[in-house]
Every structure is written in structure tokens, then in C-alpha cells.
Amino acid sequence: GAVVSQHPSWVICKSGTSVKIECRSLDFQATTMFWYRQFPKQSLMLMATSNEGSKATYEQGVEKDKFLINHASLTLSTLTVTSAHPEDSSFYICSAPLGPTQYFGPGTRLTVL
């Protein structure tokens, strides 16, 4: 149990376009989900907390208008990178808690050309 999926696993897009990444909890419900960003050979940086039925909570320094988060249901959160630029290229990982334990998705590799 406690499986989290992400889609797509990788995406390549042109600069200026928007990209949507989905995060799903497959066998449990989650009122909150978390979005992380990871640069090569670095740790995970928490970007925002996705809250079902309400606005996301963003960490300091994360642009709300650049990284749109929608938590449409108890099993789905989406991250949309708007007007993507090459510096947005990264590995994006989501997680969902079951009790105090976070379960992570497999990640999405975003490359912006």
C-alpha cells in the first residue's frame, strides 16, 4: 500500500510554454501533498504544500505565479510550471502523507529547451 504516482515521468518543452505534472495517491487519500524540487546531486527542496480544497502554501522564495498548484481531489494534486524557462529544468517530486510518513512519487524530469 501507500503508492504515489506521478505523470509524466519526463517531459521536454520549449521555453515559454507551460507544463502540468500530476501527482496521485493510488491507494489512500491525502488532504495535503507536497511538491519538491531536486537539482542534480542535491537534496530535496520543499516548494509548496498542496491543500485539498484550499490554496497551496508556498515556501519562501518560490514564485506562486510560476508554480501553480491545484489539489482537485483527495487523490490528485497538479503542479503547473507556467512560462517555463531553462532554469526551471529540474527533477520534481511529490509526496503524500499517510499518517506521519511521507510516501514519494517516482519524480518528473523537466527539461526546458
Q: How far is the CB of 4 from another protein (least distance, A)?
A: 8
> Which amino acid makes up residue 86?
P
- Cβ contact 52:73 at 8 Å: yes
Q: Please check whether residue 95 is in contact with residue 102, taking contact to mean a CB–CB distance below 8 angstroms.
A: yes
Nearer to another protein, 27 or 82 (CB): 27
Residues near another protein, by CB under 8 A: 4, 6, 32, 34, 41-44, 46, 49, 91, 93, 95, 97, 99-107, 109
How far apart (Å, rounded) are the C-alpha atoms in residues 87 and 50?
23
Q: Give the residue with the Cβ less far from another protein, 76 or 97.
A: 97
Nearest-approach distance from CB 16 to another protein, in angstroms: 26
Asked if 90 contacts 110 with a C-beta cutoff of 8 angstroms, the reply is yes
- The least CB distance from residue 58 to another protein, in Å, is 13
